[in-house]
């Protein structure tokens, strides 16, 4: 048996996305919602490093930043691209992430949300309700795969 995903994933690499990502990467708390988001982050950062007109910082992590992943696979992907200190919840859901002690009091801080359009829409409103300014970067998209009968 061969398993095929019903989705294909595409990184957004345009000026609007790069600008939103640069803004999100300036946040104090950075939340990456999936392994696909971590992969797209890596792709965009690598492309930016090859560009003559960089829009993102040369490194992905500042000392005053805190990185978060919704799940263990996302955290592992972030570590693989050089983000060594990543917090992730034991319960790998948005609610589990929101239960982390370091994300309880966000008044006056910023949260960079690195994600895709769609989803459940739980994180941004919760961070805003806790007093954070959310800087959302939709850096990839999921599209239905078209499978041929031969697939």
Which residues, other chains included, contact 79 with Cβ-Cβ below 8 Å and sequence gap of 6+? 86
Retrieve residue 140's tokens.
């990839």
In this prediction, residue 6 has a pLDDT band, given cuts at 50, 70 and 90, of: low
Taking residues 45-55, report their average pLDDT. 59
Tell me what pLDDT residue 51 has: 55
- C-alpha pair distances (Å), 77 with each of 31, 102, 134: 13, 21, 23
Tell me what pLDDT residue 75 has: 96
pTM score, whole prediction: 0.83
Strand partners, 13: none
CA Rg value for the chain: 16
Taking residues 9-14, report their average pLDDT. 78
Q: Are 123 and 113 in contact (CB under 8 A)?
A: yes
Q: Which residues of 22-37 are buried (b: 16+ CB within 10 A; e: fewer)?
A: bbbbebbbbbbbbbbb
| CATH domain 8-52+60-143 topology | Rossmann fold (3.40.50)
In the chain, where the domains are located:
8-52+60-143
Sign of CA dihedral 72, 50, 115, 86: positive
Report the Cα 131 to chain-centroid distance in Å: 20
Tens of pLDDT, residues 21-46? 999 999 999 999 999 999 999 888 77
H helices of the chain, in order, are 15-25, 35-50, 72-80, 94-98, 123-129
Tell me what pLDDT residue 122 has: 93
Tens of pLDDT, residues 54-87? 444 445 666 688 999 999 999 999 998 888 899 9
Please provide the average confidence, as pLDDT, over all residues in the chain: 84
Tens of pLDDT, residues 81-121? 888 899 999 998 999 999 999 999 999 999 999 999 987 78
């Amino acid at each position: 048996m061969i398993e095929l995903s019903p989705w294909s994933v595409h990184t957004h690499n345009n000026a609007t996305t790069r600008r939103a990502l640069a803004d999100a990467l300036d946040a104090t708390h950075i939340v990456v919602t999936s392994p696909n988001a971590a992969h797209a982050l890596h792709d965009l950062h690598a492309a930016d490093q090859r560009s003559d007109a960089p829009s993102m910082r040369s490194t992905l992590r500042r000392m005053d930043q805190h990185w978060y992943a919704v799940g263990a696979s996302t955290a592992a992907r972030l570590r693989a691209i050089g983000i060594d200190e990543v917090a992730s919840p034991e319960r790998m859901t948005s609610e589990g992430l929101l239960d982390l002690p370091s994300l309880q009091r966000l008044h006056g801080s910023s949260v960079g949300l690195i994600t895709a359009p769609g989803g459940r829409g739980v994180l941004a409103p919760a961070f805003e309700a806790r007093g954070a300014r959310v800087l959302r970067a939709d850096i990839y998209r999921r599209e239905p795969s078209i499978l041929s009968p031969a697939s």
